[in-house]
Amino acid sequence: MTSTDTTDGILKTDVLGRVRSSRQRREQVLNEFEESGLSGVKFAQLAGIKYTTFATWIQRRRKKQGKYPKLAKPKVDSIRWLEASVGQSPGPQPPSPPLVIRLPCGVRMEISDSAQTALAAALLKHIRQDQPPQC
């Protein structure tokens, strides 16, 4: 890789032909952007920088400054339960599609008849009491 020093005004490139910018130059460009009030796309266009490169510079700077909030990691083994009740409705009803319950490890349960709800509830209660399955 070639040097990123551009003090003589010549743009240096790497082996792939990409123009290399020094850290000082990137910081200078980013400071100008923050003072300009322009959108990132417009500023990158005026500065002669590809927008994707410019957006990467902005993102790195904001991460370094701590401007992105830390996201909490979701619990993998937590299960959320929802109670549902099935009631009888008057008159003939068209057949409804089955209720599909997706469980960990790719297990799937289909309930197509209200008589099956008690069995499904008992199975889910039993699974809940045991350790989470290991896939």
Q: How many CB atoms neighbour CB 44 within 10 A?
A: 21
129 vs 122, residue with greater confidence = 122
| CB within 8 Å of 13: residues ≥ 6 apart | 2, 19, 20
pLDDT tens digits along 67-111? 877 777 766 666 777 788 777 766 676 777 888 888 877 788 888
The whole-number pLDDT of residue 41 equals: 92
114 or 57, which is more confident: 57
Burial group, residue 33, by CB count within 10 angstroms (0-12, 13-18, 19+): buried
DSSP conformation class of 99: E
Q: What residues does each domain of the chain span? A: 1-71, 73-135
Residues 42-66 pLDDT 10s: 999 988 888 998 999 999 998 888 8
